Structure 1
Amino acid sequence: MNNDSIIAHLDESLEGLKDFQRATVQAVMTRFDSADSSGRILVADEVGLGKTIVAKGVIVELLKAHLRDTPAANRRPFRVTYICSNLTLASENRQKLAVFRGAWQQTYVQEPSYSRLLEVAVNQTQTNTDGKLLELCSLTPSTSFTLTRGHGNWYERLIIYFALIQQPELSPFADKLSEFMSDGVKKWESAHVLESTIVETFKALLTEPLTVEIKNWCEISASDNTALQVLSDFCNGLLTLTHQTRFRAHLRSLMAKACAKHLTADLFILDEFQSFKALLDTHEDDDQTLVAQQVFNNNKACKVLLLSATPFSIIPC
Structure 2
Amino acid sequence: MFAEGDPALRFLVADEVGLGKTHVAKGVIALVIEHLRRIGDERHDIVYVCSNAAIARQNLRKLVPKGIEPLENIERLTMLPLARLDAGNSGQPGVNLLAITPGTSLKFGRSTGTFTERCLAYTFLRSHWGADVMSPRARRIFWNGITAGDPDKRLRSLERQYRPLIRGSLDGFVKLLDKVDEDRRHHGRPSIRSLFDEIVDGLAWKRTFPDDLLELRKELIGEVRRVMALVGITALRPDFVVLDEFQRFKDLLQPDPGNFAAELAHHLFDHVDPETGRATRTLLLSATPYRMYTTADEVDGDHYADFLDTCRFLYQDPKPVDRLERRFAKLRSALMSVDTLADAGV
When the two structures are superposed, what TM-score results if normalisation uses the length of structure 2? 0.66
Q: CA deviation at 1:249?
A: 2.6
Instruction: Specify the alignment match of 1:172 in structure 2.
Output: 132
Q: Does structure 2 retain, via aligned residues, the 8 Å contact 1:209–1:225?
A: no
How is 1:179-198 mapped onto 2 (pairs within 5 angstroms)? 179-183=140-144, 185=146, 186=151, 187-188=154-155, 189=158, 190-192=160-162, 193-194=165-166, 195-198=169-172
Q: Does 1:251 align with 2:208?
A: no
How is 1:9-158 mapped onto 2 (pairs within 5 angstroms)? 31-37=1-7, 39-70=9-40, 75-76=42-43, 78-100=44-66, 105=67, 108-109=68-69, 111-112=71-72, 114-122=74-82, 124=84, 133-158=94-119
Worse-superposed segment, 301-310 or 35-44 = 35-44
Decide whether aligned partners of structure 1 residues 265 and 297 sit closer, same or farther in structure 2, where only a CA change above 3 A counts.
closer
Q: Does structure 2 retain, via aligned residues, the 8 Å contact 1:209–1:226?
A: no
Q: Which runs of 5+ in 2 are unaligned?
A: 205-211, 273-277, 291-305, 314-346
C-alpha distance in 1 between matches for 2:111 and 2:194: 22
Please tell me the root mean square deviation across aligned C-alpha atoms, in Å.
3.3
Instruction: Specify the alignment match of 1:270 in structure 2.
Output: 243
Q: CA deviation at 1:267?
A: 1.3
Letter aligned with residue 48 of structure 1: G
1:100-130 residue CA offsets vs partner (Å, 9 max, x unmatched):
1xxxx3xx435446210101222527x7977
Decide whether aligned partners of structure 1 residues 174 and 201 sit closer, same or farther in structure 2, where only a CA change above 3 A counts.
same
Decide whether aligned partners of structure 1 residues 211 and 152 sit closer, same or farther in structure 2, where only a CA change above 3 A counts.
farther
Instruction: Specify the alignment match of 1:14 in structure 2.
Output: none
C-alpha distance in 2 between matches for 1:33 and 1:171: 53
C-alpha distance in 2 between matches for 1:128 and 1:253: 25
C-alpha distance in 1 between matches for 2:27 and 2:172: 33
Letter aligned with residue 308 of structure 2: I
Letter aligned with residue 254 of structure 1: V
Letter aligned with residue 199 of structure 1: F
C-alpha distance in 2 between matches for 1:44 and 1:211: 46
Q: Secondary structure at the match of 2:307?
A: coil
Q: Does structure 1 retain, via aligned residues, the 8 Å contact 2:199–2:217?
A: no
Q: CA deviation at 1:138?
A: 0.3
When the two structures are superposed, what TM-score results if normalisation uses the length of structure 1? 0.71
User: Identical aligned pairs, as a percentage?
Assistant: 26
Q: CA deviation at 1:141?
A: 1.8
1:110-164 residue CA offsets vs partner (Å, 9 max, x unmatched):
5446210101222527x79775753321001222122015101011111111111
Letter aligned with residue 204 of structure 1: D
1:191-214 residue CA offsets vs partner (Å, 9 max, x unmatched):
31212353134322442243899x
Q: Does structure 2 retain, via aligned residues, the 8 Å contact 1:119–1:156?
A: yes
Q: Secondary structure at the match of 2:128?
A: coil
1:156-181 residue CA offsets vs partner (Å, 9 max, x unmatched):
1111111112224x542123443321
Decide whether aligned partners of structure 1 residues 226 and 298 sit closer, same or farther in structure 2, where only a CA change above 3 A counts.
farther
Q: Secondary structure at the match of 1:109?
A: coil
Q: Which has the larger radius of gyration?
A: 2
